[in-house]
Chains A and B, each alone.
Chain A
Amino acid sequence: MSLEVKHVTYIYQKGSPAENHALQDICLKIDEGEFLGIVGHTGSGKSTLIQHLNGLLKPSEGEILVDGVDINQKESRAKLKELRMQVGLVFQYPEYQLFEETVENDIAFGPRSLGLSEQEIKERVQHTMELLNLDYENFRNKSPFELSGGEKRKVAIAGVLAMQPKYLILDEPTAGLDPRGRQEFLELIAMLHRQGMTIVMVSHSMDDIARYAQKMIVMEHGQIKLSGTPQEVFSHPVELEQIGVGVPTLTKLLLRLKERGFHVRTDLFNVNEVKKEILTALSERKGDTTC
């Protein structure tokens, strides 16, 4: 069971003078249960890539396999709705999609379009809201437009989660949130991942990717420039700097210390581990006065 992107090329406005090769020969495999981070400069093709995964965009060349089935074949196109139930996609600034009169109805939109029973819909909405720390009784009859920014985003994400997708894809889910909101969302995503959901997250924060992702890809000009575990990818700081994405704050710190002659590992992303590493390195150099 996996999401597979095979030699996918995508061209916006094909045939016009403004033709734009947004993706070029992308190959990628996301196994079930994995947490994949996608990073890259603005315009590098991240959003274009993820819109292929649930069939919103059709590759100009190449194919997309979901659980081994090519989703752009004729028979599969007819079952797009089922596919979109399996592969949930949360767009950037999803709060702009809210439209219903009440929070409950908005979250129910997805499940309802799947043709579930009212009972089942209600259970799913309630379950999803509780998962997101939105009190069901308190919020269900509120208008989504009277909520705070963070709450709106929660409702929007709940609208996708209520379809109970197997794969969850998020395009910069924490953009525009305050630090506490960010943290809350990341914890939530991590929890969904622990519960077995496959996560694909686009992010501009290397810190978040380093902390949560198991694998990552770095995109530039519609191509995958680097891929692997965060340890592997962040061991190429020079390339990352050239691509314009940089490395996590902690990695930056460790790299600086190493430059100054400290014997530290540079592939740690956890604050506590880094602290221990630095203390060890410092105690090694006790008595040395150059620093």
Chain B
Amino acid sequence: MLKDITIGQYLPGHSFLHSLDPRTKIIAVLIYMISLFVVNNFFGLGFMLLLSFVVVLTSQIPVKFFFRGIKAIIFIVSLTVILQMFMTPGEIMWQFGIFKITKEGIHQAIFMGTRLILLVSVTSILTLTTTPISLTDGIEHLLKPFQRFGVPAHELAMMMTIALRFIPTLIEETEKIMKAQAARGADFESGNLVQRAKAMIPLLVPLFLNAVKRADELAMAMEARCYHGGENRTRLKALQYTKRDYVAAVLCIGMVAGAFTSRFI
């Protein structure tokens, strides 16, 4: 059941998107996000929606993965939509006691809902088509210019890599410990809130202890191999922009231009 978590999941493939440089993809996603908030009318929103369809099709990733991602945020989306609908002041369309729906509210609700869904879908395309390792590589490179302002780019990237690396391990271990305690009569599923919180102790204590122990061992192993941070470190696979990345850059410029133009329609 814990295996259903799809955050940061990567699906191997050979699409155009898979072969792009991670830096290109990260920047493109950022530009897409900005464009999402630049557009302010239905032409613009339709344009962004269309773009996301094209990107999803290009990625060759089964559509069900996006639906799963959307299902995970359905609660947040509904909450946003409802709040926007009732809380935005403006021309009243429908009223019942203190509850009123305004024309502006509906407009806002549609916008925010769509934006959220598109945000999540496009971000998941990034993680679905990029291995965690190259993703952190890309982030490290993009943060490099900020190093002179004290941003520890390499360390941040290394921490992310390690964290991503250990998510599956921790999930696996959680399942194992849950089973082992269930074999001793532990019950994680029934009871009231307090009882359930208490039932987590036999799970959390061993989990944390093992995590700390593992972190210790990892640190030791890294030190034994003379790891000492990013200084003068070279890479086995250096990142390299290719022709595809320039194509993608041109398309991104087109996207921004489209988003701005749509404001004047």
Please list the residues of chain A having a beta carbon within 8 angstroms of any beta carbon in chain B: 13, 51, 54, 56, 81, 84-85, 88-91, 94, 96-99, 109-110, 113-114, 145, 159-160, 163
Contact = CB atoms under 8 A, between A and B. Distances in A.
A85 B209 CA distance: 27
Question: For chain B, which range describes its interface: under 10, 10 to 19, 20 to 34, or 35 or more residues?
Answer: 10 to 19
B5 to A, nearest CB: 13
Nearest to A81: B185
Contacts of B180: 91, 94, 96-97
B226 interface: no
A114 B205 CA distance: 21
A51 B178 CA distance: 12
> Chain B at the A interface: mostly helix, strand, loop or mixed?
helix
A13 B4 CA distance: 9
**Which 5 A-B residue pairings sit nearest by Cβ, starting from the closest?**
A113-B185, A99-B205, A110-B184, A89-B183, A97-B180
B181 interface: yes
Interface in B176-212: 176-177, 179-187, 201-202, 205-206, 209-210
Contacts, number: 55
Contacts of A145: 209
Contacts of B148: none
B14 interface: no
A288 B185 CA distance: 65
A97 B177 CA distance: 6
B162 to A, nearest CB: 21
B121 to A, nearest CB: 20
Interface in B203-226: 205-206, 209-210
Contact of B182 (A13, A56, A88): A56
Given A84-B183, A91-B180, 14 more contacts: A13-B3, A54-B183, A84-B184, A91-B179, A91-B183, A94-B180, A96-B176, A97-B181, A97-B184, A97-B202, A97-B206, A110-B184, A113-B184, A114-B185
A91 B201 CA distance: 19
Contacts of B210: 96
A140 to B, nearest CB: 18
A89 B184 CA distance: 8
Given A96-B210, A97-B206, A99-B201, A163 B185 contact: yes
6 contacts: A84-B184, A84-B185, A96-B177, A99-B201, A160-B183, A163-B185
